[in-house]
Amino acid sequence: MSLLSVLFLALTFAPFVTPFLVAGAGAALAKRGYQRLRLGTLRWHPPSGRTCVLVLVMAGSAAFGAYAWGLMSGFYILDPDQMCAARGVSGDHVVTRAMLPVSSQCVTSAGEGTELVPGWVNPVVFVGLALCGLALGASGDAVRRKVRARARVA
């Protein structure tokens, strides 16, 4: 199986798998918060590496799932005229696509465009990517703190 086939399969199945990954990571985060609440340690402290990994998984899978949903929302086996007609756009059609921000438009000969990608896709992608970056930075900081703490003990 080629890399292109694997990528296409990942993009195809990501919208269906993503809710389970997000729910699983969210449940694990809620469990960690509940345990902290039960132990009475509600004071603020920097997040641990495990918490950062859970946030990274949750945000990354949400961003990838939304990106895949956006890419696949303008992908049909039908030709562009049938695809645009299925969305209720009349007249001649040209389909334009953009990868980031995700966009797929049916443009008539008069220049009127109809977006095929839902409006929630791009905000979820960009917020998910930002949270992934923050979680990566915080996990690096958590690892650095843990190494320093072990060096002090030894």
pLDDT at 53: 92
Residue whose entry in the numeric block shows the structure tokens 């923050």: 134
Q: How far, rounded to the nearest angstrom, does the alpha carbon of residue 153 sit from its chain's CA centroid?
A: 40
Residue 113, number of CB atoms within 10 A of its CB: 13
The pLDDT tens digits for 89-111 are: 776 777 778 888 988 888 877 77
Mean pLDDT, the chain, rounded, equals: 86
Checking if the pLDDT of 146 tops 90, the result is no
**Torsion over CA: 70, 75, 81, 87 (sign):** negative
pTM greater than the 0.75 cutoff: yes
